[in-house]
Amino acid sequence: MRTVWKGTIGFGSFAIPVKAYSATGEYSSGLTQVHAVDGGRIRYKRVCEVDDAEVPQEEIAKGYTTAGGEVVVLSEADLAELADVALPTAHSIQILGFVDPGDIDPLYFVKSYYLEPEVPATKPYVLLGEALQQAGRVAVVRVTIRQRETLGALSVRGKVVMLDTMHWPGEIRTPDFPFLHEDVDLRVTEVKAAANMIENLSLGFDPADYPDTYSDALAELIEARIEGREVLTPSATVQEEGVAELLRALQESTQDRADTDQAGAEGAAEPAGRAGEAARRAETAAEQARRAAEQARSAPRTNR
């Protein structure tokens, strides 16, 4: 696993140095955007809407557009300096208090991280985990990850202290559906019957009982296409275009050489024969390059 954050768990003057790792990941389907005609990968460019020019990564910054259309530009250096000054939690998980786990609505949770202690801090790390478990509490914290401060909760899974980042209260939306303002008439017998059916269908939860059927079906579809040779080989097209470009460059170079040699031959009597011979050789090479380039351009594309 790759470290995504390094800092300390802080409570008053007490600090435990830790490293954070993403506790979850997402399956990659392996699918990419391609040109349906020849299978070539689709590439995107960063283009400025003002001058329509491609922008290199080092010239990209963050900006805030005012109501009047003016833009406040902030560089990465500006944001890094701001984080050092205004975000004391940039390198510290600040414990704000302890609450019952049931008091936190799961809707608030965003992403989970494993926290690993630095070797010298192993004992206080284990002590914190044991204390949280015995007290039956989670620690409410404040932390900054990727230049964004967020709420979080420290809990224990097995022997590992977990950090779950959380939404701010203002980020939680309140549903306002029409049926919430209506009186829906339900009979007691209907509710009991539905509850009984749910109870009869209840079972223990094992994630392994719920396979990712879409990913399996997608893998089978791709394998079937490969076995049936329903594939494209875009690399062949790229190579053919590269050959054609190289031959065009050689053709231009040999033509330039021929012009230079012929100009030199006109100004010197003794080397005239050699210059004329060189010019003829250059013209021959240029003609061969031209024919090869035409053949490369007209060659059929591979489609297997």
**CB neighbours of residue 11 within 10 Å:** 17
Q: What domain count does the chain have?
A: 2
Instruction: Give one word for 282, left, alpha or beta, with left for phi > 0 and alpha for psi -120 to 50.
Output: alpha
Give CA–CA dist 32/234, Å, rounded. 14
Domain that holds residue 146: 1-24+74-169
User: pLDDT for 226-270, tens place per residue?
Assistant: 888 887 777 655 555 555 666 676 677 666 666 666 665 555 544
> In Å, how far from its chain's centre is CA 52?
25
- Position 279, amino acid: A
How many CA atoms within 13 Å lie on the side-chain side of 23?
15
Q: Mean pLDDT score of the chain, rounded to an integer?
A: 84
- CATH of residue 97's domain is 2.40.290.10
Residues 154 and 284 occupy one common structural domain = no
User: pLDDT for 83-109, tens place per residue?
Assistant: 777 777 778 999 999 999 999 999 999
Nearest in space to 158 (alpha carbons), one of 181, 180, 132: 132
Is residue 156 one of the residues assigned to a domain?
yes
> In Å, how far from its chain's centre is CA 161?
27
Is residue 217 one of the residues assigned to a domain?
no
* Length, in residues, of the chain: 304
Spans in the chain with pLDDT lower than 70: 235-247, 249-250, 253-304
Is residue 281 one of the residues assigned to a domain?
yes
